[in-house]
Amino acid sequence: MYEKLFYFILILFIFYTLIPFLYSRVLGMGVFKNNRKSNNIAFTFDDGPHPVYTAEVLDVLRDHHIKAAFFVLGSSAEKYPELILRIHNEGHLIGIHNYVHHSNWIMAPWKIRKDLDRSAAIIEGITGKKPHYYRPPWGLLNIFDFFILKDYKIILWSLMAGDWRSRGGSERVRNVLLTKVKQGDIILLHDSGDTLGADEEAPQNTISALKDVLKEVSLRGYTCVRIDELFYSQHQNNNIKLQ
């Protein structure tokens, strides 16, 4: 009896979590994670807005005339509306990263949908613009996300630097990014260290590394664009309408 129950739960778990993981993270299906046909790259920042680090990231981006994307938590957007407005006013894209930083593997599909709509309403209430881009925490999707989140474009990444950890300092972040960056990359970084498994002070390294990385990628001939531009350049021949 218990053995049957165990196998039943195991099959449900595989269906809910591991199949979507293979589909999206390994095969890149149903998600956008790079555009290798483009010579552009796109920077993205997760887990904010943060009262200190988000403003510092924005300063660096402004100094380098670069537009990026911020995947924000609805609960933090509610707390720091002035940062959401600044991100928007400075020309960056705002996407959703759930209302709180919980994994879609442990949440029910309807709860995820409800939290997304709540976060979208908060952001739209501040900026006047409804977000259309979504990145699930840790990039983990469940099987239902592909069906009930169809009005959001799901964005993953092709390059990350483990910048949620302080170990190795800004030098490690800089080295990883500059060694691995390729054309069409979507680069994942963090403007908050307040989430589970992250080091609180880690974004200091990200910000310090970012200053050098932005200079160097420009010298290598890459143009930094927002993910919607990177997406558009991949799909413009297919007449896919951007939101």
Is 190 one of the annotated active-site residues of the chain? yes
- Residue with Cβ nearer Zn ion (20 or 139): 139
203 binding Zn ion? (CB under 5 A): no
Is 46 one of the annotated active-site residues of the chain? yes
115 binding Zn ion? (CB under 5 A): no
185 binding Zn ion? (CB under 5 A): no
Amino acid identity, position 220: R
| Least distance between Zn ion and beta carbon 56 (Å) | 18
Q: Are 25 and 138 in contact (CB under 8 A)?
A: no
The stretch among 133-141, 198-206, 219-227, 228-236 that binds Zn ion (CB under 5 A) is: 133-141
| Least distance between Zn ion and beta carbon 46 (Å) | 4
Which residue in the list 101, 190, 191, 228 is annotated as catalytic? 190
Amino acid identity, position 234: Q
Q: Are 32 and 155 in contact (CB under 8 A)?
A: yes
Cis, peptide link before residue 203, omega less than 30° from 0: no
Q: Are 23 and 15 in contact (CB under 8 A)?
A: no
**Given candidates 131, 136, 137, 184, which one binds Zn ion under the rule CB under 5 A?**
137
- Classify the C-alpha dihedral 145-151-157-163 as positive or negative: negative
| Least distance between Zn ion and beta carbon 205 (Å) | 17
Q: Are 42 and 187 in contact (CB under 8 A)?
A: yes
47 binding Zn ion? (CB under 5 A): yes
Alpha-helical regions (H) of 149-202: 169-180
Residues of the shown chain interacting with Zn ion in the complex, contacts defined by CB under 5 A:
46-47, 137
Catalytic residue list:
46, 190
